[in-house]
A and B are shown apart, each in its own frame.
Chain A
């Protein structure tokens, strides 16, 4: 009787968790749009030399400040005659890499702290007060402080943004750990004599991935935006690096004569941030833990 029931359900239920998640994600049109933009960006970044003709850094003062749709420069050129399209494409590389590095570092720190705080009540107070301390700084201010100490460079921007990501991540992870820790399967592992490390790495972490993935995606958007902001303020990428924020900052002097110098990188930033945000939103719905128990 019980067997028959299992056999009947088998076809429907033998589906990997990730497949179900992707299926749910694809139902969300906006998230799909975000995903497509993100994928296009990644492709753009990877194949940057193949889809550009001009060097993004090489100056050509003879053809400076060409408007959009000029011959050979479809997005025009800047005041030094550099091709805007090339700079945008190579800028995507910088944004994605800096965002990825910043988010990864932030995740490592945040997951580690959050896990320890959630798992060991004795460490909780200490770690969370430290996290509160980081929280009390406004994000950009904290980043500026760190850059002021470390010096201006894209690497330091990544470090600054990662440190700024740690407290949020730690709180999210701690919350998940606190709830998962009380689950009966953790108790079962304890009764089986599993070590703390095993319980944390093999049983708590895999069950806390959903909020971490969502956080990482959303934080990508923030990280890219922050990189651009810091570069705009002159704290990140230094000229002639083709960074979107830096491009806006350089282009603003020519806003009236060549508005595309600010508008094009602005749209690039906006699209990227939008894409990562809607993708994160979609993932949040698709990974909803309440849908875990299928059907």
Chain B
């Protein structure tokens, strides 16, 4: 990790996850006993630096959204620690957590679903200040108006309901709400996936502008590798709740070490006509996270799986400077 810290102008660690696990219990039988666990997030350990954007990619159901929610405390942590600044926050009471809530915010995937349809958006933003500050009504209104301006909306939008906005505008409201309290860490959970491409670009640009202005760190959860490549500094690839590969965005895209990452990248459509590219097809479905395979979780679909993969779970280790992967044969494909 030393190399990472040196290579960055601002090496301050903002969020640190240590062995974060999230299991959802499966209850069955007459007495609703726990008969098993869906292992949504399996031991995630990482550091997130101030001012950086970490992309989290993977198939649907790989636990990337759950990871984001768990960090914010929206899901109860099964095991591990989550630190913000220097403080572990997973065991704090609701009251103590309040100041960290200000620092960590989330932008949701569906901007329509994440806004109360019966609340004017001015009031929705106002409410954030009511909950966390002692501002007077006048000050709150001024803050809301300046927030609206900041995300490119007009003062007359204050009195409108969410259904009166377009998708892009709604997502701007979601962004306004997330940055209202001046956080230092924002989780974007598929924040642009629901938008069409032209609007996506605008919203991404807005997110970048805001990041520069407030020195924000993003955790950018997405399944769109193109967007991640454009937007993020580092990328974490997840599979079945496990960390598969993590490195700088250029290393991941140019020199992927893990066969799963390679398969993901080979699925990006590219406009080149004559470029020879190898398409790695993954066969079969993702295994059931309630009953993950032994050994490497990916061995059931891996094109280079050997016998060792079926028994021995590969560790998540540094194969090249600042380039981590969990594979016995990293880079051999």
Contact = CB atoms under 8 A, between A and B. Distances in A.
A224 to B, nearest CB: 30
Contacts of A190: 74
Given A192-B128, A194-B131, A185 B116 contact: yes
Contacts, number: 75
Interface in B98-133: 98, 101-102, 105-106, 108-110, 113-119, 127-128, 131-132
Given A184-B108, A207-B118, A202 B74 contact: no
A190 B117 CA distance: 16
B279 interface: no
Contacts of B106: 188, 191
Given A2-B199, A6-B165, A184 B101 contact: no
A13 B199 contact: no
Contacts of B198: 1
B166 A2 contact: yes
A192 B117 CA distance: 17
A293 B117 CA distance: 9
Contacts of B164: 9-10, 13-14
A188 B118 contact: no
Given A5-B166, A184-B110, A206 B119 contact: yes
Contacts of B101: 191-193
Nearest to A194: B131
A203 interface: yes
B177 interface: yes
Interface in A105-155: none
A56 to B, nearest CB: 44
A206 B166 contact: no
B259 interface: no
Band of interface residues on B: 35 or more
Contacts of B15: none
B117 to A, nearest CB: 6
Contacts of B74: 187, 190-191
Contacts of A184: 108-110, 113-114
A24 interface: no
B175 to A, nearest CB: 12
Contact of B131 (A1, A188, A198, A207): A198
A189 to B, nearest CB: 8
A198 to B, nearest CB: 7
A207 B116 contact: yes
Contacts of B182: none
Nearest to A190: B74
Nearest to B181: A192
B313 to A, nearest CB: 33
Given A187-B74, A198-B131, A207-B117, A2 B169 contact: yes
6 contacts: A6-B169, A9-B164, A184-B113, A187-B74, A193-B101, A292-B163
